[in-house]
Structure 1
Amino acid sequence: MARRGRMDSVSSRANEETPLLQEVLPEPIDDGAVQQQRAAQDAEVQQEEVMIAQEAKGSKLVIILASCYLGVFLGALDSTIIATLSAPISDSFNSFTLVSWIATSYLIANAALQPLSGKLTDIFGRRAGLVLSNVLFFAGNLICGLAKKQWVMILGRVVAGMGGGGLMSISTFVASDLVPLRKRGLIQGIGNICYGTGAGLGGVYGGWINDAKGWRLAFLIQLPLIAVSAMLVATTVKIPVKEKELSRIRRIDFPGAITLVLSLVLLLLGLNSGGNTVPWSHPLVLACVPLSIAFLVLFIIIEARVASEPIIPVHLLLDRTVASACLTNWFITMATFIFLYYVPIYFQVLGYSTTQAGLKIIPQSVGASIGSLGAGLIMRATGRYYALNVFIEGLLLASAIIIAALFNRNMQEMPTYIALLLGGLGYGGMLTVTLLALIAAVEHKHQAVITSASYAFRSTGSTIGITVASAVFQNVLKRELWERFRDDPMARDIIARLRDSIEEIHKLPPQYYDGAIDSYMLALRAVWYTSLGLVVVGITLSLGMREHTLHTNLARK
């Protein structure tokens, strides 16, 4: 009876904002001392764990996930739309160096905010997080569609990135809240199909809209769908939280959140600026990178020694499987996003339109969808993932080798499609396998936090990958162009034009054409070799994952 009384007391405090996945703790036994009771209750609020919910099934699960995955589709579409729009947008602002900023500003915002999403939605609820993410995503795309200046365009991508990152990560938390691990891979496969479809259509859609109506409409036309996404999650996702408003705010690790965001933003700002908009020796770069490291060290100290509820508990990242899964995500995502952004540029250099260049990357997104769903089905059937991971990494290596060896001026189309399909199969499978591995490696109460950490590695990887590739590409291109045109009296003007716009290649007099194409091809080859190296590192790290049990129920018994 005493136990029933304590459970009833806890239940009476729940409302429609109580997290679905919170483990109910018994109230402290009253020893008659009021002060001790209050202290124990305060400690309970601070250390509250995640309740295990009833498994959602049938139409209820379909409706909830469909509402979430619409946002995933839109976020993925927006993340790759720049792959084919980067050149026309840069041309309209007369700055090809803007390419890197347009891409990375979106991804910097993703990387900076995603680590916070797990803990914040544990505190404030999944629904509130999804609605806010949709609002930010809407505002960002509106700003991009109306932008008249470069800095406004970049601001719009930052705001959209904040929202898009939340749409993808929080949807994953919702799925983990409602589905046990053994089935979780299949659900993640379906989610990754939505992501892959959006990512694949982003380039095609962007190129088609640009060729037909101009690049601005590519952003504005998304707004009605984003509004629908916001309304759907507001009405279907009802995963409540326990605490009153005041206690929720007290639980936020503000020092940890601020230092982590500053570390990520400064790092990516410094890397993106160096060799692109300013020299690597510029004070901006020399200040940003050391400051980023300093804030990272401060963040680790805060999380390990100060924060009562850390944004990312450091001890979780020291687990061998978690570390291996996160680092694999990091390096493989770097390589994959380099391919996604530079393969369309490769085809545009060869004279293809933005629409045609976007169509060329469809095999990658198709492969990612198939690979993710296939990995989920295999893990559901076998309950194992390590051997599957080894096979998947082999696909990624084969893809990177084909691209590095064969993507040149005389490339045939069939090897292109094979390489991108293999890369997509490997990347989609890797996302599902590593997610299941790291969730299985931690306690149920930590699954949202560690998932958000994984997403942070992934989004940081995509940003750093594009930044590193841009630095390699621009520096090699500049060097090769100077080697070919240094004796020409118009060299400075020609090189500046070629570095600012791909379209300038096809406007050059015939005597300059071959030199320009060869310079671009050598710059792209350097990018392919960079990606291959990243894939090799990622594959090596993936072998550190251990096999953990994929349970068939949410209680993990």
Structure 2
Amino acid sequence: MVTAEREREAIGQAKGKRTRRPFVLAAIMLAMFMAAVEATIVSTAMPAIAADLGGFSLYSWVFSSYLLMNAVTVLIYGKLSDLFGRKPILIFGIIVFLIGSILCGMSTSIEMLIFFRFIQGFGAGAVMPIASTIVGDMYTKEERAKIQGYLSSVWGISAILGPAIGGLLVQYVSWRFVFWVNIPLGILAIIGLILYLHEGIEKKKHSIDYAGAGLLFVSVSSLMYVLVEGGVRYEWTSKPILLLISISAIAFTLFIIQEKRAVDPMMPFDIWKERSILIANSTSLTTGVMLIGISSFLPAFVQGVMERPPIVAGFTLTTMSIGWPIAAMIAGRLLLKIGFRTTSIIGGVALILGSIIFMTLSPEDGPLWAACGSFMIGVGMGFSTTSFIVSIQSTVPWQKRGVATASNMFMRTLGSTIGAALLGGILNSRIQEHLKENGVNQEFSLDSTTLLLNEERRNQLSESMRTLLQDGLTSALQTVYIAVAVFAVISFLLILLLPKKE
């Protein structure tokens, strides 16, 4: 294993040039800010997008399509960065992300938007893991804990600006601009990386695990379709659902076999033998489900049920991303004093407290109480994710740091992908059930819920119909938040399994 100093020299020299760490860090933070702003703005704008383009039944697919491509590509980008260097892979990812963003803003239907989100997600898979990996390369373990706190502050800034800008654009300009505001940020990040990041990479022939990436895509996408459409478009015991479950299981089995025999596997299973990595990645899966459950559906609750404008809905999400960086900066200092496990346990407790608030949330509580729950979830994520990343990067050498960091990002993204599909499926089936119970399933469909997300259309509904639809949405979202609470408990139990000695 090479020493930290020699690792930093290896990435800092290329053809006599030296990496300028402050400028590279600034470029990385810009790239991360671009991705972070996208997450908060789109969540805030989604009710307006659904009201304009229609298709509430496809609401969760706008998130799922982005997350699916992100999940499938994050591992292969991590592996490619270990083989060919961080710089070219990150720049490629940013360019694809920007192309996807431009196309998303030009969408004229919900189906078109979902397709362009696939492209955007294809690029996004490179941004977060490789940006974090570059930090792992440039800084020592002690420096890393502090720098991870700085990187997490990007989420706080984007959280304050994202929903506010998103709400203003939706209200006064057009939702299309929420996809276009990050274009200048991406261009500046690319310029910074080209000018100031210099790597000395050993050139040799590499084999790329395309088969592994393809099998993972088939497995995850099949499972996701089942979770979104099962019980809504198809019965759970219907032939299409059973066929897709079989395809998902077979593809995943083949993926494991492929990874064990591949020369350069996309997911080297030997890193999972480290108990700290195994637990950190497993917990990231469950917290990923929680994260998407809150960020995807909270704006719909605030706008559709509480009848508040997009700016207020954005505020309730903003507090999550304010809590996250504050907790991450504190965690960066605590890590070296009390260890990874204790710091992570603090995060696990905060996740449970936040989920309890959401589980008991009612329309009468108002957006301020929803914002408190959101803040607690952010605190939990800040403590746990910072601990996980620093722990993982301290466990593996440079040659595996890219894929090890990506494996953690992959599990969180996979959790969000499955969560968007699973919780979206719960939401859709619960609303359908409510309409059926009240005998209005002929008059109103699942897509009728979009009427609540537009103030003008909502006011055109009769008092009884509006109340009926709002009751249905409230009941469905409360069921979603019960599921979120279950995943919070699972996350806490997993954290307790982290090794005590570090």
Q: Please give the secondary structure, in 2, of the residue aligned with 1:220.
A: coil
**2:321 matches 1:365:** yes
- The residue number in structure 2 matching 1:520 is 473
Distance in structure 2 (CA, Å) of the matches to 1:97 and 1:440 = 44
Aligned 1:386-401 pairs, distance under 5 A: 386-401=341-356
Aligned to 1:240: 200
Letter in 1 for 2:175: W
Distance 1:92 1:281 in 2: 34
2:211–2:258 CA contact under 8 A, matched in 1: yes
- Quote the Cα distance in structure 1 between the aligned partners of 2:92 and 2:447: 42
- Offset at 1:336? 2.0
Q: Secondary structure of the equivalent of 1:97?
A: helix
User: What does residue 259 of structure 2 align with?
Assistant: 303
Contact 2:2 2:397 in 1 (8 A): no
Range with bigger deviation, 144-153 or 104-113: 144-153
Distance 1:95 1:169, change over 3 A: same
Deviation at 1:497, TM superposition (A): 4.9
Q: Select between 182-191 and 534-543 the one with higher mean Cα deviation.
A: 182-191
The change in CA–CA distance for 1:417 and 1:152 in structure 2 (over 3 A counts) is: closer
Q: Deviations over 1:67-110 (max 9, x none)?
A: 01111111111123221222222222221122111111111111
Compared CA separation, residues 535 and 130, structure 1 to 2 (3 A): same
1:326 correspondence with 2:281: yes
Q: Structure 1 residue 193 and structure 2 residue 153: aligned?
A: yes
For residue 333 of structure 2, the aligned residue among 342, 353, 377 is 377
- Of 513-522 and 275-284, more deviation after overlay is shown by 275-284
1:180 CA displacement: 1.6
| 1:348 CA displacement | 0.7
- What secondary structure is seen at the aligned counterpart in 1 of 2:179? helix
**Structure 1 contact 192–369 (Cα < 8 Å) conserved:** yes
Which residue number in structure 2 is paired with residue 440 of structure 1? 394
Aligned counterparts of 1:182 and 1:548: Cα–Cα separation in 2: 18
Moved more, 195-204 or 356-365: 195-204
Paired letter, 1:441 = T
Match of 1:257 in 2: 213
The 1:522/1:537 distance shift into structure 2, 3 A limit, reads: same
Q: How many residues align?
A: 491
- Of all paired residues, the percent bearing the same amino acid is 23
**Alpha-carbon offset, residue 242 of structure 1:** 1.4
Deviations along 1:134-157, one digit per CA (max 9) or x if unpaired, are 110111011111122333211211
Check the 8 A contact 2:302/2:367 in 1, yes or no.
no
Contact 1:87 1:96 in 2 (8 A): no
CA gap 1:280/1:216 in 2 versus in 1, 3 angstroms? farther
| Maintained 8 Å contact 2:79/2:403 | yes
Query: Which of these residues, 153, 156, 179, is aligned with residue 116 of structure 2?
Result: 156
1:274 shift after superposition = 2.8
Q: How far is the alpha carbon of 1:284 from its aligned partner?
A: 4.4
Contact 2:159–2:317 (CA<8 Å) still a contact in 1?
Answer: no
Question: C-alpha displacement at 1:376, in angstroms?
Answer: 0.7
Would you say 1:292 and 2:248 are equivalent positions?
yes
1:286-337 deviation per Cα after TM superposition (whole angstroms, max 9, x unaligned)? 3333212212111211222x11222211122233211110011110121122
2:7 to 26, 39, 52: 52
CA displacement 1:236-272 (0-9 Å, x = unmatched): 222232115xx13xx2223223222332233223323
Quote the Cα distance in structure 1 between the aligned partners of 2:388 and 2:83: 25
Moved more, 67-76 or 291-300: 291-300
What is the distance in 2 between the residues matched to 1:107 and 1:543? Answer: 28
Give the match for residue 336 of structure 1. 291
Give runs of aligned pairs for residues 123-138 of structure 1, distance below 5 A.
123-138=83-98
Q: 1:449 to 1:548 in 2, by over 3 A?
A: farther
Q: Which amino acid aligns with 1:335?
A: M
Question: 3-state DSSP class of the match of 1:146?
Answer: coil
Residue in structure 2 matched with residue 468 of structure 1 by the alignment: 422
1:452 alignment partner in structure 2: 406
Post-superposition Cα deviations, 1:152-195, rounded to whole Å, max 9, x if no partner, equal 21121111112122111110110011112222121111112213
CA gap of 1:203–1:290, structure 2 versus 1, over 3 A, is farther
Give distance in 2, aligned partners of 1:271 and 1:364. 26
CA separation of 1:240 and 1:323: change in aligned 2, threshold 3 A: same
The one-letter code sitting in structure 2 at the alignment partner of 1:141 is S
Find the partner of 1:404 among 353, 359, 363: 359
Rounded Cα–Cα distance in structure 2 between residues aligned with 1:499 and 1:449 = 42
After superposition, residues 155-234 of structure 1 pair within 5 angstroms as 155-199=115-159, 201-234=161-194
> Distance in 1 between the 2:323 and 2:128 partners?
20
2:63 pairs, out of 99, 103, 118, with: 103
1:540 counterpart = 2:493 = yes
1:288, 1:240 → 2: CA distance? 45
TM-score using structure 1 length: 0.83
Larger % of helix: which?
A: 2
Is 435-444 or 315-324 further displaced after alignment? Answer: 435-444
Q: 1:370 to 1:61 in 2, by over 3 A?
A: same
Alignment partner, residue 78 of structure 1 = 38
Asked if residue 493 in structure 1 is aligned to residue 449 in structure 2, the reply is: no
Q: Which residue of 1 aligns with 2:15?
A: none
Contact 2:164 2:315 in 1 (8 A): yes
- Unpaired runs of at least 5, structure 2: 13-17
